Amino acid sequence: MQVDILSLFPRYFEGPFSESILARAREKGLVTIRQTDIRDFAQDKHNKVDDRPYGGGPGMVLMAEPVAQAIEKVKTPDTKVVYLSPQGKTLSASHCEELARCPHLVLLCGHYEGIDQRLIDTMVDEEISIGDYVLTSGCSPAVVLLDAVMRFVPGVLGHERAAQEDSFQNGILDCPHYTRPETWRGLSVPEVLQKGNHDHINKWRHTQSMLRTQRRRPALLSRYQQELESPRQMSPSEFGLHEITLPVSKLNKSKRFYRDVLGFVLVEETDRNLILELGSLRLRLQEGTLPQEELRSRFTLGPFTEEAIQKILDRMRRAHRGQETWEANSIDKSIELLDPDAYQWTLLELK
Ligand code: 4GO
C-alpha cells in the first residue's frame, strides 16, 4: 500500500512511523509512506498558504490552490483522498478494513480552522473523523487512521487472526487479558484460563465480552444481537430507528406490558414475533429462550414529561392491582421497572 500524507508539518510523523508495528510494516515493504509539505505549493514569495475567512471570524483557512497542487502532484488513477476532520464520518473497524484494501491513500491534514470548502467538495473522496473532539491539526488523526488501517494489511501483525478477533471486529468489546505471574499482589488469574480447556476458555471470553459491552456500551450490544439475528439486512439505524431484539417467554404477557403499560405502538404481529415502536425505538419480541439472568439487557427510555411518567405508573398500578412494582430514583429523576421476563427498563424524566 502506498500512503501520501499532505500537511504543513511533515516532521510531525517521524516518530510514530519509525516505531513498533508501523516501522516493521515499512521495513517489510508492506507500506510506503511519503510526506508532502503543502507549503511547497504556496503561490507567493512569502510562502503563504492560509488567509482570513470570508464572512469574518477567528483564525485562518488553508487556501484551496496550494492543497490542490499538492494533491495533483501525488494523485494516480486509483488514489483515494481522505480528509481528516471532525465533520467526517466516524472511523470504525469495518471502515479501516475497507481502507486497507485501497492501493493508494492520500491523507490530507488540515490546520488552522480547516481548508477552503471548494477544495473539499471537488477533490476529497472521503471525510473521516476519529471521534467527537476538535484537534489543532489533522496530523494525529492521520497517525491514528494509518495505525488502525495497517493492522488489516496482511503480514503487518504477523499473527493473522489477531485483527479479525480484536474488539469491534465482531462488534463487541474485547475480553480481559492476563499474563504471568499467576498471582500478582494477591490477585490471581481467573481459574478457567489456567486450566487450559479451550472450549471453556472461549465461552468464558465471549461471556466476558458480552458483560463488558452490556455495562459499558449497551448500544453496541443490541446492534450485535440484532446482527446475529439477521445478518446483512439493512440496519434500522439507517432509517433513524434504533432496533432491539428481545427473546421473551410469553408474547401475550410482553405485549400487555409494552403496549398497554409503556405505551408502545404495535406495528406487526405474527405467531412468534411482535414488533412495537415507541419514538425512534423499535422493539422486536420473539418467543424463545431467555438469555441468562446476568446477560439480560438493561434499557433506557425517554425522556418523558412528568405527565407521561404518571400515566405509565398509573397503568403499572392497575396491571399489578395497586402494588408498586417499580423503584423511583429521585436524584436523577428516573424510574426503574422490570418487564415480565425481568428485563430492566429505566424511564428518564425530563428535567
Ligand atoms: C480531525 C481534524 C479533529 C479531527 C481536526 C477528528 N480535529 N476528530 N482538526 O478526527 C481542520 C483544522 C481539522 C484542524 C483539524
Tens place of pLDDT per residue across the chain (351 aa): 999 999 999 999 999 999 988 899 999 999 999 999 999 999 999 999 999 999 999 999 999 999 999 999 999 999 999 999 999 999 999 899 999 999 999 999 999 999 999 999 999 999 999 999 999 999 999 999 999 999 999 999 987 666 666 667 678 899 999 999 999 999 999 999 999 999 889 888 887 887 888 788 877 877 776 665 554 444 555 445 677 889 999 999 999 999 999 988 888 898 889 998 887 788 999 999 998 887 777 787 877 778 888 889 999 999 888 788 788 877 667 888 999 998 888 887 775
114 pocket-lining for ligand 1 (C-beta < 6 Å): yes
- Asked if residues 155 and 193 have their Cβ atoms less than 8 Å apart, the reply is no
Q: Examine the residue annotation and report whether 182 is marked as an active-site residue of this protein.
A: no
In the block, residue with C-alpha cell 398497554 = 260
Closest ligand 1 atom number to CA of residue 88: 10
Grid cell locating 181 = 505471574
Q: Examine the residue annotation and report whether 10 is marked as an active-site residue of this protein.
A: no
State residue 351's pLDDT score: 59
Handedness of CA 255, 261, 262, 264 (dihedral sign): positive
What's the distance, Cα to Cα, between the start and end of the chain in Å?
52
Instruction: Determine how β-strand 326-329 pairs with β-strand 334-338.
Output: antiparallel
Q: Examine the residue annotation and report whether 113 is marked as an active-site residue of this protein.
A: yes
How many Å lie between the centroid of ligand 1 and the Cα of residue 184? 41
Which amino acid type is present at position 302?
G
Q: Mutate which of 61, 92, 129 to test ligand 1's pocket (most atoms within 8 Å of Cβ)?
A: 129
Measured distance CA(236)–CA(140) in Å, rounded? 33
Q: Whose CA is nearest to atom 10 of ligand 1?
A: 129
How many Å lie between the centroid of ligand 1 and the Cα of residue 133? 8
State residue 160's pLDDT score: 67
Closest ligand 1 atom number to CA of residue 62: 12
284 pocket-lining for ligand 1 (C-beta < 6 Å): no
Measured distance CA(199)–CA(67) in Å, rounded? 55
If one counts every other C-beta atom within 10 angstroms of the C-beta of residue 168, the result is 15
In this prediction the pTM is 0.69
10 pocket-lining for ligand 1 (C-beta < 6 Å): no
Nearest to 81 by CA among 41, 47, 115, 49: 115
Measured distance CA(262)–CA(266) in Å, rounded? 12
- Asked if residues 266 and 276 have their Cβ atoms less than 8 Å apart, the reply is yes
Measured distance CA(6)–CA(74) in Å, rounded? 9
What are the beta bridge partners of residue 348?
A: 334
108 pocket-lining for ligand 1 (C-beta < 6 Å): no
Nearest to 325 by CA among 338, 312, 314: 338
Instruction: Determine how β-strand 344-349 pairs with β-strand 298-304.
Output: parallel
**SS3 per-residue string spanning the chain:** CEEEEEECCHHHHCCHHHCHHHHHHHHCCCCEEEEEEHHHHCCCCCCCCEECCCCCCCCCEECHHHHHHHHHHHCCCCEEEEEEEEEEEECCHHHHHHHCCCCEEEEEECECCCECHHHHHHHCCEEEECCCCCCCECHHHHHHHHHHHHCCCCCCCCCCCHHHHCCCCCCCCCCCCCCCCCEECCEECCHHHHHCCHHHHHHHHHHHHHHHHHHHCHHHHHHHHHHHHCCCCCCHHHHCCEEEEEEECCHHHHHHHHHHHCCCEEEEECCCEEEEEECCEEEEEEECCCCCHHHCCEEEEEEECHHHHHHHHHHHHHHCCCCCCEEEECCCCEEEEECCCCCEEEEEECC
Which of these is catalytic: 14, 166, 182, 269? 166
Measured distance CA(153)–CA(84) in Å, rounded? 21
How many Å lie between the centroid of ligand 1 and the Cα of residue 6? 14
Q: Examine the residue annotation and report whether 86 is marked as an active-site residue of this protein.
A: yes
How many Å lie between the centroid of ligand 1 and the Cα of residue 134? 5
Which amino acid type is present at position 229?
E
